[in-house]
Structure 1
Amino acid sequence: MPQPAYPIIDTHQHLWDPKRLSLPWLKGAGPHLNKRNAIEEYTAAVEGLPIASAIYMEVNAAPDHKLQEAQQVRQLIESGRHVTTAAILSADPGLENFRDFVDPFQMQSWVKGYRQVLHGGSAPKGYCLKARFINNCRHLGSTGKTFDLCPRPAELKDAARLADACPDTRFVLDHCGNVDPKAFFASNDSRRGSAPPNAARWKEDMTELARHPNVFCKISGIIARVPKQWTPDDLRPVVQHCVEAFGDGRVVFGTDWPVCNAGGTARQWIEALQQITSDWSPEAQQRLWSKNAETIYNLA
């Protein structure tokens, strides 16, 4: 299959070296994650692909290693030797010291925004609707930084309420709202397994979230949940609804490497998405692969 005709901005690049950064969650992760996945491994994984630049995505480091993570990423970017040119750092708007951490980065152009994962066990339902969380997300809007949303699929309505409360903050919804693509499989499809029958609710909640013009959708993550035998058509319903809801002007692409390797390589994911979007207009394809990211993340 030919490569995309457009340069790609990977808006979701994870990198880590367990010897340099404390990542407690790695202990329970699969073998493709519980190892060194640094820039050299990423470079090898995307060799031959038209990755023009990449945005580093925080990796949920231990609280006392978040500043160290930021320092390591800054060194990587400033070296100028790799595709990584910007970063989304880890910071929890629900914490009292949130602004103490983010404000020193306010004038750092390589820092485009922040993320606190909301789909793990440490974030209870409704956490993103706490007053401090909302006020700190408003603060990000006032400084021009983004916030990546990564909620559980059943809590997309919370994300909509947060976006409504922070109209001047740009939110980027990760991984198509963390939906399991197997939820769209036919009931008699043996590959479906125990996927929850939440497709209809997910579509409804995504449509509601998309009504907020300050929310953008990242087409990423879904390949990590596919069964061993899969085709691009298995992912098509998810991608199609995201674009129907948000429009081709509010979607961006991300590899979610190396998490994507649970279902397929970065190359397989890109080629699958190319096939899914092959009937889009050239302008819409270019917006997905790079142009929207340039606007959303204020990339030079």
Structure 2
Amino acid sequence: MNIDAHQHYWDPARGDYGWLTPDMKPLYRVFGPDDLAPLRKAAGVQKTVVVQAAPTVDETRYLLDLARSDDSIAGVVGWVPLDSTDAAAIIDELAREPKFKAVRPMLQDLPDDTWIEHAPRKDAIERLIDLDLAFDALIFARHVPSLVKFVERYPELRIVVDHGAKPPIRDGIDVGWQPWADGIAQLAKLPQKLHCKLSGLATEANPNWTDETLKPYVAHLLEHFGYARLMWGSDWPVLDMNGSYAAWHDTARNLTSHLEKAQQDAIFGANARAFYRLRNG
């Protein structure tokens, strides 16, 4: 079972995607399961995990509505105001939906890079743990020190780092490799066994990227997280700004082709299924 561990659906008319503006013409339209279906089928992807793209509970409910009516959606990563007094109650409400699997605060967009180490309420995070829900960390390298403190505070929380912590690939190896590379090594060594998504790399590269462009970054993620803690995701349709579903899927397959089949199967499906506790796929 091949699983896309990270993709989005949205409708700009809903009005809560602050980052999605009309000048982003390739993205400023409705994207739904019917749009993704031919792309994932061509790539042999049967199921997906759809991830929040707006910092609102209403958008999470919108995604859960889609998930109820589309079997290809195996799980939903939603948004909850983790610093709010009603966060735990909201988590309880959302968790009644069987496809609600994780939460994601949009850390990369917050003005305070240290938010994750002091703002989330203890009762909210403990509720995630009690309900066996996971946590997606959308970070850059600058967020690593604060994320480490958060991870150490909640050792029982399952955490996955989105998009390989978004290395600045377009800056080139000489300029952009550090501090990203050391940050990845630090996160991977934590005893909590963080997972990481092999996703979003094409978005961080210059146009006309190739397998060779992304090869050192994929290799670094493999070296530190290993095949057992990486999961492939498309980051579609954001991916359309700088690539295509087929191209990124082919590149990820090519750059992991030296692995044994079982190891590739883990990256392209089994790890996501286990991490997100997905049913029927």
Aligned to 2:32: 38
Match of 1:13 in 2: 7
Q: Determine the structure 2 residue equivalent to 1:265.
A: 244
Q: Which runs of 5 or more structure 2 residues have no equivalent in the other structure?
A: none
Change (3 A) 1:28 1:204: farther
TM-score by length of 1: 0.86
SS class of match (2:136): strand
State the partner residue of 1:240.
219
Cα deviations across residues 146-195 of structure 1 (Å, max 9, x unaligned)?
0100122211121122111110000110000011223444x5xxxxxxxx
Counterpart CA distance in 2 for 1:77 and 1:155 is 31
Q: In the alignment, which of 206, 209, 232 is matched to residue 184 of structure 2?
A: 206
> Is 2:141 the partner of 1:153?
yes
Identity over aligned pairs, percent: 21
Task: Classify the secondary structure of the residue corresponding to 1:200.
Answer: coil
CA distance in 2, matches of 1:232, 1:225: 14
Matched residue, 1:70: 60
Aligned residues: 278
Partner secondary structure for residue 88 of structure 1: strand
Q: Tell me how far 1:253 sits from its aligned partner.
A: 0.9
CA drift of 1:123 comes to 3.8
Task: State the match for 1:274 in structure 2.
Answer: 253
Match of 2:103 in 1: 114
Matches for 1:192-203 after TM superposition, within 5 Å: 197-203=175-181
Write the distance in 1 (CA, Å) between the matches of 2:107 and 2:22. 18
1:247 counterpart letter in structure 2: G
Q: 1:190: which partner in 2? A: none
Distance in 2 separating the partners of 1:217 and 1:135: 25
- Partner residue in 2 for 1:136: 124
- Name the CA shift for 1:134/1:32 in 2 (closer, same or farther; >3 Å): farther
Q: Aligned partner of 1:153: which letter?
A: A
The aligned residue for residue 193 of structure 1 is none
**Secondary structure at the counterpart of residue 20 of structure 2:** helix
The alpha carbon displacement at 1:272 in A equals 0.6
Label 1:87 to 1:181 Cα distance change in 2 as closer, same or farther (>3 A).
same
Report if aligned partners of 2:169, 2:176 keep a CA contact under 8 Å in 1: no
Shift of 1:22: 3.0
Aligned mate of 1:289, from 251, 262, 268 = 268
| Closer, same or farther: CA 295–218 of 1 in aligned 2, 3 Å | same
- Give the 3-state SS of the residue equivalent to 1:46 in structure 2: helix
Do the aligned partners of 1:151 and 1:178 also contact (CA within 8 Å) in 2?
A: yes
* Structure 1 residues 126 and 135: CA distance shift in structure 2, 3 A: farther
Counterpart CA distance in 2 for 1:52 and 1:140 is 27
1:88 aligned partner: 77
Q: Which amino acid aligns with 1:146?
A: A
Q: In structure 2, what is the Cα distance between the partners aligned to 1:240 and 1:183?
A: 18
Residue identity opposite 2:215 in structure 1: R
TM-score computed with the length of structure 2 as normaliser: 0.92
**Are the counterparts in 1 of residues 102 and 133 from structure 2 also a CA contact under 8 Å?**
yes
TM superposition outliers: structure 1 runs of 4+ over 6 Å: none
2-structure distance, mates of 1:173, 1:134: 20
Counterparts of 2:162 and 2:33 in 1: how far apart (Å)? Answer: 21
**1:14–1:58 CA contact under 8 A, matched in 2:** yes
CA–CA separation in structure 1 for the residues paired with 2:184 and 2:163? 12
**Mapped partners of 1:93, 1:294: distance in 2:** 25
Q: 1:92 is aligned with what amino acid? A: P
Shift of 1:115: 0.5
> 2:231 — aligned with what?
252
**RMSD over aligned Cα atoms:** 1.9
Separation of aligned partners in 2, 1:17 and 1:201: 36
- Contact 1:51 1:83 survives alignment (8 Å): no
Equivalence for 1:191: none
Q: Is the 8 A contact 1:220 1:256 kept in 2?
A: yes
* In 2: Cα distance, 1:71 partner to 1:203 partner: 36
Judged with a 3 Å threshold, the aligned counterparts in structure 2 of structure 1 residues 8 and 172 are, in CA distance, closer, same or farther, namely same
Which whole-Å deviations, capped at 9, do the CAs of 1:24-70 have from their partners, x for residues lacking one? 22127621222222222222433422111011101115x4xx23x23
